[in-house]
Amino acid sequence: MDLSIVIPLYNEEESLPELSEWITRVMNENNFSYEVIMVDDGSTDNSWDVIERISANNPNFKGIKFQRNYGKSAALNEGFKAAKGDVVITMDADMQDSPDEIPELRRMIREDNYDMVSGWKKKRFDNRLTKNLPSKIFNAAARSISHIPLHDFNCGLKAYRRKVVKSIEVYGEMHRNIPVLAKWAGFRKIGEKVVEHRPRKYGVTKFGWERFINGFLDLSTLTFVGRFSKRPMHFFGLYGTLFFLFGSLSSLFLIIEKLTHKEYGLTNKPLFYIALAVMIMGMQLFLAGFIAELIARNAADRNNYLIERKIGIN
Ligand code: UDP
Ligand code: MG
């Protein structure tokens, strides 16, 4: 199968018929063998009935329905598990992403050898103040932290080599940071394509401005986890030791000073309080590292590596 198209959706009943017709048209024009996996993220409108109807007309359209709303990441993750195509495309259900981009995205994966290609909504049709500006800030932060040169991490329209989606787990709200997940899994060839973005025709947006704060916090988590989750002591231990050393040396200095200038008061010096605080913080950091280390030791995936190839070994 050439293509799996994964579409997470939550209350998008009006968009689905048009979207499915458009996708079908593009697939037929290009003679792709394909499947469309619509993941209904616990919609409370008639989305699921619409999916059943579409699927009855065209068996390439498949559906998964969650019992309740788990979020876009969960929906993508289920879609990824089910996907069978060589190239996996994700797109939003609200018709802000254009299916006409699919053939070129697929070509970039197959011929230009990208592991993953992310869409870039260069010209956006969203609210300027609540989305465009915060999005610029989030993307700049994401770029500088992850060293992945993308302009639009959170774009719903993306293409992946099948192996990539089978190697990553999208949990929580990590759908905004899938490029980072892919990079940590060892897929380094990440490309970008400017894609057409359209105004939302039906329904309403499901995300508010908090998305950028959450996205940034998730990014920090990912970066930290990626670097230190298997060796937390190398982070906490280092800073704990440095803090503690600085505190101890300052105390020593204060004691010597007190012994040599007897008239001098200890507790009216700022350094006294700084030394105290820093020593306590150092101990705390060290302890946090020690506990994290005990947890990492027991993590079920502590030795799960992604193996790319083997020779002579079953
Ligand atoms: N979505 C979802 N679960 C949710 C929220 C959103 O599956 O809990 C889907 C939604 O139906 C749409 C896509 O994720 O297909 C992107 O959402 P939306 O268009 O609201 O985001 P925006 O375009 O405003 O960034
Ligand atoms: Mg949208």
pLDDT of residue 140: 94
CA of 78 from ligand 2 middle (Å) equals 20
Task: Tell me whether residue 303 is in a domain.
Answer: no
Q: Are residues 133 and 47 in the same domain?
A: yes
User: Do 186 and 237 fall within a single domain?
Assistant: no
Q: How many structural domains comprise the chain?
A: 2
The last residue of one of the domains, among 228, 260, 284, is 228
Could you tell me if 192 and 255 lie in one domain?
no
Same domain, 162 and 280: no
In the structure, which protein residues have their CB atom closer than 6 angstroms to any atom of ligand 1? 8-10, 12, 41, 69, 71-72, 75, 92-94, 96, 156, 205-207
Ligand 2 geometric centre to CA of 92 (Å): 6
List the residue whose alpha carbon is closest to atom 11 of ligand 1: 9
Domain edge (last residue) among 205, 228, 251: 228
Give the pLDDT of residue 94: 95
On whether both 237 and 222 belong to a single domain, the answer is no
Global pTM value: 0.89
208 and 60 within one domain: yes
| Cα–Cα separations (whole angstroms), residue 309 to 173, 182, 190 | 31, 18, 21
Q: Which ligand number lies closest to the CA of residue 7?
A: 1
Q: Are residues 222 and 243 in the same domain?
A: no
**The predicted structure's pLDDT at residue 209:** 82
Do residues 258 and 281 share a domain?
Answer: yes
In a domain, 86, yes or no: yes
Q: How far is the CA of 257 from the centre of ligand 2 (A)?
A: 65
Report yes or no on 276 lying in a domain: yes
Q: Are residues 248 and 105 in the same domain?
A: no
Beta carbons of 125 and 96 less than 8 angstroms apart? yes
Residue 188 covered by a domain: yes
Nearest CA to ligand 1 atom 7: 9
**Closest residue (by CA) to atom 23 of ligand 1?**
205
The pLDDT score that the predictor gives to residue 245 is: 97
In this structure, the answer to whether residues 217 and 241 fall within a common structural domain is: no
| Run means of pLDDT, 10 residues per run, the chain, 314 residues | 97 97 97 98 97 97 97 97 97 96 97 97 80 88 94 96 96 95 95 94 89 91 91 96 97 91 81 96 97 93 85 90
Q: Of the residues 199, 228, 257, which one is the last residue of a structural domain?
A: 228
Whether 123 is in a domain gets the answer yes
pLDDT at position 132: 82
| 19 and 88, same domain (yes or no) | yes
310 is a domain residue:
no
Return the ligand number nearest the Cα of 204: 1
User: Same domain, yes or no, for 208 and 67?
Assistant: yes
* CATH code at position 159: 3.90.550.10
Pocket of ligand 1, candidates 5, 7, 10: which has the most ligand atoms within 8 Å of its Cβ, to mutate? 10
For 142, the domain range is 3-228
Is residue 117 one of the residues assigned to a domain? Answer: yes
Nearest ligand by distance to the CA of 205 = 1
Q: Of all protein residues, whose CA lies closest to atom 17 belonging to ligand 1?
A: 206
Within a domain: residue 308?
Answer: no
Output the CA torsion 223→228→230→232 (10° steps).
-140
